Structure 1
Amino acid sequence: MSNIIEIDFSKKLEIKIDNKLPVGLEDLSLSLLSFNKQFHKFVESETDELTDVGSELLIKEVRKGSIVVELVSQAAPIVPLIWSGGSLYEWANVVQSTCNWLLGKSDRPPKDMAKQDLQEWNKIVEPIAKDNGSQMNINVSDGGKVVNQFILNSNEAAAIQNRIGRLIEDIDIPQENKHLKKVMYWYQTKFDPNSDTGNKAIIDDISKTALKVIFENNALKEAMLHPDPSLVKPWQELAFVVDVEVQTVRGKPKMYNVLNYYPEYTFDPDED
């Protein structure tokens, strides 16, 4: 059996980093390594163990000027049957869709994301996230013609890393501390939209004791302070359905962090 690897040189994926500052060798190496790992996972998720498709990206050329790396993949007769535009074209679509999701432009990632995946995406954008004014261009060409292009600037890369940090933080919070769609009603309020001090609420499913309440963000708080006017009663007399994180001290619940609010379920607790 031949061990010769056939490479499809007609299709190329070019990563170009227009840097303003020198790029650390470790940052660049980890970025490319993580890019390759995610490509490998993409190919594995789209094929089965009986499908012989190479899942490794190979460096064809590194050009001078800005940092320009040309990548190619292994050729296989079955590739056009799986991805009409080729594996590099489809992978570039996944890269763009993933970045758009991390930027909040779409609701769902194109592929399931574990903590390790998020950490690798963090490394992929690291070279430009720390270099203000830089950008990363990802181009896919077929026979010399560009068929897919995606540009990510340093501000977007930094925003992606911030989102990744929050997502990893959510993963690290023990799930037993998160409670979804629980009814919360106010026990005490300060009636001050600019302060959380003095606000306490009860969630009977978690604790009969009134606990201090904080909000994950101001937009969430504002939404809860201005419920549907058709409910007639002021917000502090209504019951809300929320997702909360219970924060404890020495194992005892002490505070609710409201993570999400479902306005359509808000109701008057005094009604039958």
Structure 2
Amino acid sequence: MSTHTNTHKDTDTQGTFRRIAIVTGANRGLGRSTALRLADEGIDLILTYRSHEDEAAAVVAEATAAGRTAHALRLDTADTAAFADFADEVRRLLKESWGREDFDFLVNNAGSAVTEPFLQATEEGFDTMLGVHFKGVYFLTQKLVPLLADGGRIVNLSTGLTRFTSDGLSAYASMKGAVEVFTRYLAKELGPRGITANTVAPGPIGTDFAGGFMRDDEGVRAALAAQAALGRVGEPDDIGGTIAALLSGRTGWVTGQRIEASGGTFL
């Protein structure tokens, strides 16, 4: 069901066409930063959350304060059986709030982490990572691409861990590697419609990922900062800004690419 909405017409008071982005997992962390950065740049929003509805409502309130139309929809991105109904809900919102049958940008951000050393890894943890980070992204995108406007853009979140390694994250990083391959295929298959598809691969970022150790543990932050050319741990706005740049009107010739935003970690 849709919650927390603020409705405007499809054009603003100057008659400018209203662009619309769907951002998954936008109630916190990188998704929240991305959604609010897009709102600041004049883009309307459909954001998703799996839990913490109050956080999603707060993001919608901030987007509304910036003059945007924003809707929050609950979605478990590992529950592929729910994707058809979700697409129907998106279709309804597009018609009722914007008078449109399509949207412009898809950001597949939602995710979680299971930290298990390879020799102790479980099928349960592996399947969780598979469902959230690859199978969910694959089939949710399949359901939403028919609603994506020609000339639209897709950004899938990957990780710096597909280039460098960290203990206990082999399953997570492997799924992100699959997403990078999938994204290149998207770029090829959707290219005739003028749709671009790219991945953004964050390095260490101070969020609640994996329990928030990169945000809260000063010793960890200092060690990670020492490994980065720019000498610090990234913050959510570093990634939100990168994604917004890829969705801007100035990057339409970039497609099928992996853009690492890691501050030069392990160069």
TM-score calculated relative to the size of structure 1: 0.22
Instruction: Choose between structure 1 and 2: higher strand proportion.
Output: 1
Larger Rg: 1
TM-score calculated relative to the size of structure 2: 0.22
Higher RCO, Cα 8 Å, sep 6+: 2
Instruction: Choose between structure 1 and 2: higher helix proportion.
Output: 2
